[in-house]
Amino acid sequence: MTTKNDRLIELCLTAGKLMLMYGAETYRVEDTMKRMAVAGGMRDVNSFVTTTGIFLSGMLDDDDDVMQMIRIVDRFQDLSKVTEVNHLSREFVSGSMTIQEARAELKRIEKQPMNYPLWLIYLASAVGGGAFSYLIGNSMFDMLPASIGGLVSTLALVLFQHYLQAKFFSEYLAAFFGGITALILVHSGFGTNLDQIIIGSVIPLVPGVPLTNSVRDLMAGDLISGLARGAEAALTSLSIAAGVATAVSLFIS
Amino acid sequence: MIWELIICGVATIAFAIIFNIPYQLLWMIGLIGITSWSVFSFLPVTGVGPVPAAAVAAFTSALISHWCARKKRVPVTTFTIPGIIPLVPGGRAYETMLAFVQGDYVEGLAQTAGTLLQAGAIAGGLAFALSIFSIGRGVGQRYETNR
């Protein structure tokens, strides 16, 4: 086996895996992998990417056909890693980077922690929940309970996803706890506008990445991944709605 | 009005942090969020309904996002994902859920239609801006005219 070609294929697959895992759209993953493979000297390159797997096939310079695939299980939302891999692929294609350097850089991106620390994300969901609730309800006083609710729902989401490892169920539970917090705050006299506070509490859970990527995939002609991501976004929205509905019906009865 | 725009910018930047977007781009995202919200809240004053207003606002923000992404050489989703967050029909989705919980199915179905229409309008606005920026690079369809 020629080790250089092995390394090239591994490089392309790792780059594609990182981009798809952290929330890039299908068209971009396919295009990046294809450009990198062509720049590294492969011919007749074909890449096929769905939401859960990556296929790459091509012909090497010694007329050796290769075809490899990778299964993607986890999907996170970390767009800064997508940006970094995108930047790296541009440099690799333009020729200012060897395969070894690109591999070392990809390993660094794979290992590095999230762009923002977790406490900043908690803070951002509190601020975002409070600010978004003002846009809906126009009540300055209710921004504080809404931000408390947003903080609780994100805390619950991170906690349940870490311990339960169940995607839609943990979103359901997070929305449930956010809704319960909002209802308790309103019923104890701390806040007046119930709908504004509940919306602000659960808005940090909105599945923005699959929602937008679904539209982009469908428009780019990647119908399978577009529908798959749309289904993911719809299921997440339904679990959030069900969580809030459970909390509300507990308090109404 | 100014206060509302500032709060909208803060909300968009907070969502950009939730989606882990590089910090050099945060101020641009704040401006995109402010633009889309001001289009979305200004159009109903002139008599346009909320659904077309959402479509126009999503289109505007996606257009600016594409332009910024070209300038900064980053994936365009970095800008569009937080840019459309102020348009999400959270209030209508909540009304829908509440109507179904209270057993008022007719009202629930009406609110469902409103929510879905507004979400579809946002998607349509995004898709329209995307089509403008991908003219000449799209996929083939129906007739092979270039032979």
- Does the pLDDT value for residue B117 go beyond 90? yes
C-alpha separations of A117 from A111, A252, B20, B78 in Å = 15, 38, 10, 19
Intra-chain end-to-end CA distance of chain A, in Å: 69
What is the model's pLDDT at position A2? Answer: 57
Q: Does A158 touch chain B (CB under 8 A)?
A: no
> pLDDT band at residue B142, thresholds of 50, 70 and 90?
confident
Q: Please judge whether A135 and B14 are an interchain contact, meaning their C-beta atoms are less than 8 angstroms apart.
A: no
Q: Does B111 touch chain A (CB under 8 A)?
A: no
Q: Does A122 touch chain B (CB under 8 A)?
A: no
Structure tokens at A32: 């990046």
Alpha carbon of B45: minimum distance to chain A alpha carbons (Å): 16
Specify the DSSP class assigned to residue A94.
H
Who among A77, A202, A252 is closest to B20 (CB)? A77
What is the model's pLDDT at position A114? Answer: 84
Contacts of B80 in chain A (CB under 8 A): 212
What is the model's pLDDT at position A166? Answer: 84
Who among A83, A198, A202 is closest to B22 (CB)? A83
What is the model's pLDDT at position B140? Answer: 67
Q: Rounded distance, CA A78 to CA A24, Å?
A: 9
Q: Does A215 touch chain B (CB under 8 A)?
A: yes
Q: Does A93 touch chain B (CB under 8 A)?
A: no
Q: Does A124 touch chain B (CB under 8 A)?
A: yes
Q: Rounded distance, CA A60 to CA A40, Å?
A: 10
Q: Please judge whether B7 and A135 are an interchain contact, meaning their C-beta atoms are less than 8 angstroms apart.
A: yes
Q: Rounded distance, CA A174 to CA A160, Å?
A: 8
Separation of CA A244 from chain center = 22
Who among A116, A213, A248 is closest to B20 (CB)? A116
Q: Does B44 touch chain A (CB under 8 A)?
A: no
Element (H, E) at B25: none
Would you say A178 and A150 are in contact if contact means Cβ atoms under 8 Å apart? yes
Output the furthest CA–CA distance in chain B (Å, rounded).
Answer: 61
Who among A116, A132, A212 is closest to B11 (CB)? A132
Q: CA nearest A132 in B: which residue?
A: B11
In sequence order, the 6+-apart residues with CB closer than 8 A to the CB of A213 are A23, A24, A25, A26, A229, B77
Q: CA nearest B37 in A: which residue?
A: A135
Q: Does B104 touch chain A (CB under 8 A)?
A: no
The per-residue pLDDT string of chain A (253 residues; one tens digit each, 9 = 90 and over) reads 557 778 888 889 999 999 999 988 898 899 999 999 998 888 889 999 998 899 999 888 777 788 889 998 888 888 899 999 999 999 999 888 888 888 899 999 989 888 889 999 999 999 999 999 998 888 888 889 999 999 999 999 999 998 988 888 999 999 999 999 999 999 888 888 888 899 999 999 988 889 889 988 888 888 999 999 999 999 999 999 999 999 999 887 6
> pLDDT band at residue B59, thresholds of 50, 70 and 90?
very high
Alpha carbon of B129: minimum distance to chain A alpha carbons (Å): 11
Q: Rounded distance, CA B47 to CA B53, Å?
A: 10
Separation of CA B45 from chain center = 19
Who among A82, A199, A248 is closest to B101 (CB)? A248
What amino acid is encoded at A205 in this protein? L
Q: Does B42 touch chain A (CB under 8 A)?
A: no
Would you say A49 and A31 are in contact if contact means Cβ atoms under 8 Å apart? no
Average pLDDT over residues B103-108: 93
- Does the pLDDT value for residue B68 go beyond 70? yes
What is the model's pLDDT at position B1? Answer: 78
> pLDDT band at residue B34, thresholds of 50, 70 and 90?
very high
Among the listed residues B82, B85, B87, the one whose alpha carbon sits nearest the alpha carbon of residue B25: B82
Q: Rounded distance, CA A222 to CA B128, Å?
A: 17
Given the DSSP bridges, would you call strands A43-49 and A65-71 parallel, antiparallel or unpaired?
unpaired
Q: Does B93 touch chain A (CB under 8 A)?
A: yes
Beta bridge partners of residue A69, listed in sequence order = A55
Q: Does B57 touch chain A (CB under 8 A)?
A: no
Angle at B25 between CA B75 and CA A91, to 5 degrees: 45
Positive or negative, the Cα torsion across A74, A232, B56, B37?
negative
Q: CA nearest A209 in B: which residue?
A: B81
Contacts of B102 in chain A (CB under 8 A): 252
Q: Does B102 touch chain A (CB under 8 A)?
A: yes
Q: Rounded distance, CA B34 to CA B15, Å?
A: 13
Q: What is the pLDDT of residues A160-211, one digit of tens each?
A: 998 988 888 999 999 999 999 999 999 888 888 888 899 999 999 988 889 8
What is the model's pLDDT at position A9? Answer: 87
Structure tokens at B37: 């919200």
Neighbours of A114 (CB within 10 A): 15
> pLDDT band at residue B138, thresholds of 50, 70 and 90?
low
Q: Rounded distance, CA A181 to CA A197, Å?
A: 10
Who among A195, A245, A249 is closest to B91 (CB)? A195
Helix extents (H) in chain A: 3-21, 26-39, 79-94, 99-111, 118-137, 143-163, 167-187, 194-202, 208-220, 223-252
What is the model's pLDDT at position A55? Answer: 92
What is the model's pLDDT at position B139? Answer: 67
- Does the pLDDT value for residue B124 go beyond 80? yes
- Residue of A86, A206, A212 best to disrupt the B interface, most CBs of B under 10 A: A212
Would you say A36 and A15 are in contact if contact means Cβ atoms under 8 Å apart? yes
Residues of A189-214 as b/e, b for ≥16 C-beta within 10 angstroms?
A: eebebbbbbbbbbbbbbbbbbbbbbb
Separation of CA A202 from chain center = 17
Element (H, E) at A57: strand A53-59
